[in-house]
């Protein structure tokens, strides 16, 4: 039964910080979370990045210690919040060019024009 396996792995993760237990949750929830993120963001590659970043952040901050009941619900909740922030973030404007002033086109000199015609 998957629910008892989730509880066993969650207990191992919260007690001993066992990487194997965290990998279990990553393997179990990565694809469904990517699917949900892709639905929300409309971009498969961005969805994968968001889910990977989510798992890395939860591991580094040890946020998994906050899971009370459902690991799946915990990860889905974090993902929904993250995707909503991304959707609400204003698009960043194009950064100004650092190449200097634009070249203004000018008429070709008569000598250059003659050479090009040859």
Tokens of 79: 């993902």
- Mind listing the pLDDT tens digit for each residue in 37-70? 999 999 999 999 999 999 999 999 999 999 888 8
The answer on pLDDT for 34 being more than 90 is yes
Calculate the CA 99 to chain-centre distance. 31
Contact 72, 3 (CB under 8 A): no
Q: Could you say which architecture CATH assigns to the domain 2-88?
A: Orthogonal Bundle (1.10)
Give mean pLDDT, residues 9-29: 90
The answer on pLDDT for 1 being more than 50 is no
pLDDT at 57: 94
CA distance 28 to 71: 10
- Under the banding of pLDDT at 50, 70 and 90, the label for residue 90 is confident
Q: Where are the domains of the chain?
A: 2-88
Tokens of 63: 């946020």
pLDDT at 110: 60
Closest CA to 70 of 7, 13, 1, 118: 7
CA distance 73 to 71: 5
The answer on pLDDT for 106 being more than 60 is no
The answer on pLDDT for 104 being more than 60 is no
């Amino acid at each position: 039964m998957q629910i008892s396996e989730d509880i066993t792995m969650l207990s191992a993760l919260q007690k001993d910080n066992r990487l194997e237990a965290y990998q279990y949750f990553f393997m179990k929830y990565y694809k469904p979370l990517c699917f949900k993120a892709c639905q929300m963001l409309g971009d498969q590659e961005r969805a994968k990045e968001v889910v990977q970043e989510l798992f890395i952040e939860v591991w580094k901050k040890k946020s998994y210690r906050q899971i009370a009941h459902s690991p799946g619900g915990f990860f889905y909740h974090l993902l929904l919040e993250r995707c909503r922030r991304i959707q609400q973030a204003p698009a960043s404007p194009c950064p100004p060019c650092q190449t200097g002033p634009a070249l203004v086109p000018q008429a070709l000199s008569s000598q250059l024009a003659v050479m090009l015609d040859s």
